[in-house]
Structure 1
């Protein structure tokens, strides 16, 4: 089983996972994908404690990065291959799915692309509570384009943290009650919206659960099954 949910922010929005764990019988052969802002990789001094609630789960936790991750720590893990794409293996059952990769999981092809914009970065401190690596680089975008081309630009699912700029115009999508503004990360995702064919595109970031269209879904507290 492959499940997906929105931001967890370490333990701040962990309750949905705790509830899932008490209601479903899941094993290491099952997967939960977090659509960015995993947030448990934040402080080097409390890393083991922050990861522990996820590490003790009986299933495999996969996450893409959002804008609220400590990229100094995250990028210190060695890059390895897993199910066809580049990853950081954080713990045995906690894996970071890197940007611009296509993974084959249980017969499904999944394109991943993390990153987002911290709209409150003006009150954050670089390398303490904000990292410029939250914004996708040209190299990461190009890698995503190349990897998609290997699949003839067709995948089953796309999972990102933010969304493409056109999706922001949907009235169902808002951020803390305000209309969403397009940033550099949204325009970066336009590259993939323009070339990719897919069944569903899931994203987090906006703290709302909403079906945007037939093939676009925003997630926060909801947990969906990829099928």
Structure 2
């Protein structure tokens, strides 16, 4: 079974408590950005990451605005699940922007990144990285991958959201940035069942097809057991 959850920000308790503690080797957890376990490279952080690597289930994560992109760049890139990922060792993988993954017979467009609202108060290379916003190449990679599937996927997983979603909520204030507009662009072309995103630290169902996720753990598809009633 595939499960979604929102920003973890390096908090190991999300995995030790609640639904995630019961998952097994046939399960996959996708974190919708701001994973936070690749941040300062400290001994304590490495210990937490090693613990995650030993979980029986697979962990995939999108990047957000709170990742150390210099540390993340050190991990090797490979083809897996039908798309591009970086292997962090064990069963932990970062999903490269624009990948279309196939998980349990369903297709997932994955696109991380977001702009830090407080970036002017952060220090480049210490707690802020310009790579938080996608590059032209990453936008183009996403377009090419969507063209291969005729702009049809089962699910869309992003860290930030199209401005068309945010305009009708209290999730975000201020002007749209380039990432919002890019997500608007693909939204108009895509055929999809549901769109999930993190970033805003709220668990909010926006419509029948869009949902903001934070602490919720959402099973995708039919449940195999009665564990999560």
The two structures have a TM-score, normalised by structure 2, of 0.90
Match of 1:16 in 2: 14
Residues 109-161 of structure 1: CA deviation (Å, up to 9, x unaligned) = 01000000111111111111000000011111111011011111100011000
* Count of residues in Structure 1 that have an aligned counterpart in Structure 2: 220
**2: CA distance, partners of 1:139 / 1:17:** 33
TM-align CA RMSD = 1.6
Match of 1:219 in 2: 213
Match of 1:186 in 2: 180
Match of 1:99 in 2: 97
Task: Indicate the SS of the match to 1:144.
Answer: helix
**2: CA distance, partners of 1:133 / 1:95:** 18
**1: CA distance, partners of 2:111 / 2:58:** 19
In the alignment, which of 203, 210, 224 is matched to residue 204 of structure 2?
Answer: 210
Partners of 1:99 and 1:144 within 8 A in 2:
yes
In the alignment, which of 14, 32, 38 is matched to residue 35 of structure 2?
Answer: 38
**2: CA distance, partners of 1:54 / 1:21:** 15
**2: CA distance, partners of 1:78 / 1:3:** 25
Match of 1:140 in 2: 138
Match of 2:52 in 1: 54
In the alignment, which of 191, 196, 200 is matched to residue 194 of structure 2?
Answer: 200
Partners of 1:28 and 1:93 within 8 A in 2:
no
The two structures have a TM-score, normalised by structure 1, of 0.91
Partners of 2:7 and 2:35 within 8 A in 1:
yes
Task: Indicate the SS of the match to 2:60.
Answer: strand
Bigger drift between 40-49 and 74-83 goes to 40-49
In the alignment, which of 98, 123, 126 is matched to residue 125 of structure 1?
Answer: 123
Structure 1 residue 76: deviation in Å? 1.7
Structure 1 residue 23: deviation in Å? 5.6
**1: CA distance, partners of 2:188 / 2:74:** 32
Residues 2-42 of structure 1: CA deviation (Å, up to 9, x unaligned) = 0000000002xx43322235763x22220000000001001
Partners of 2:155 and 2:193 within 8 A in 1:
yes
Consecutive unaligned residues of structure 1, counting only runs of 5 or more, are: none
Residues 45-78 of structure 1: CA deviation (Å, up to 9, x unaligned) = 3342241342232211110100100111112212
Bigger drift between 157-166 and 40-49 goes to 40-49
Match of 1:165 in 2: 163
